[in-house]
Amino acid sequence: MADLITSTRAKVNINQTSFTTAEDSAIDTLVTSVSGAVKRYCRREFDNQAFDELYGGTGDEILVLNQYPLVSVTRVAGSPLPVLTIRNTSASNQRATVAVTSTGLSLTRVASGVSSTDTSITWSSYPTLQAVKTAVDAMGNGWSADIPESTYQLWASADLHAPQGSLQARDVDAPLLLHGEEIADYTVDAARGWLIRPGSCWSPGHDNYRILYNAGYATIPEEVQEACAQWVASLFWQTKDNPALSPDQPSASILFLLDPYRRYCV
């Protein structure tokens, strides 16, 4: 993802009049490395971006999202169920699997030790589950598909969450899941990244809710930028003093700046 500061911002803390080409390259690398380290320490992203995540309900009114502040919530869906099953029945194949990717299906079969994978069924070419079923049935080599509930025939194939699989499909139905229940009875606490269902609850389960949302800052908070810049400057001067040393841990002043932005997991 995006770096949290620019090299120009980092150079403010390095406070050196001019920089060689090698130093510029080193600073660019340090900025990227420190940005990643800060995100790991704070257990969150900072720049505004889109997220597609699965959550398990806890039985509480509040569902805490991984990223915040919330900019928008595009979709909240629950109750995953198998809406498309894939099977391979060819006696020529000793193994067959199916996987859902972000762009379509990946169908793999192994016959006499030779593995072949077909990725021609894409969501852009086959936008509904019915279209996907028809395409799988036409592939040959033992592949077939079924839609257990006709209600879902015209649902978007892209609504199948990725990744799923690789699922065994040799003479068994490999079930591909879709979160089919649209949830609307919630309110948003944008600052804390909470979805709240007053008087109701997020039903307990494993990955039984799919949330599509945007979160993050249009401008990275100055405290976070300053922490990154201090850390880059410290590492930059360390490369001058003794490059063989292990990288410095963040100083107390850096942690003081970052701690208010750290996501704490319960």
| Alpha carbon of residue 121 to chain centroid | 22
- Please say if the pLDDT value at position 129 is more than 70: yes
Q: What is the DSSP letter of 43?
A: T
Q: What is the DSSP secondary structure assignment for residue 247, as one 8-state letter?
A: P
Residue 240, pLDDT above cutoff 90: no
Tell me the pLDDT band of 264, cut-offs 50, 70 and 90: confident
At 189 the pLDDT is: 97
pTM for the structure as a whole: 0.87
Closest C-alpha among 82, 76, 75, 74 to residue 151: 82
The pLDDT tens digits of the residues spanning 106-120 come to: 999 999 999 999 999
| pLDDT at 244 > cutoff 80 | no
Name the phi and psi angles at 238, rounded to 5.
Answer: -65, -35
Compute the chain's Rg from CA coordinates.
Answer: 24
Between CA 18 and CA 70, with CA 222 as vertex, the angle to 5 degrees is: 135
Average pLDDT, integer, range 114-141:
97
Specify the pLDDT at position 248. 64
Q: Does the pLDDT at position 148 exceed 90? A: yes
pLDDT of residue 165: 84
- Rounded CA-CA distance 125/27 in Å is 44
Mean pLDDT of the chain: 95
Average pLDDT on 114-138 reads: 98
pLDDT digits (tens, 9 = 90+) for 168-187: 999 999 999 999 999 999 99
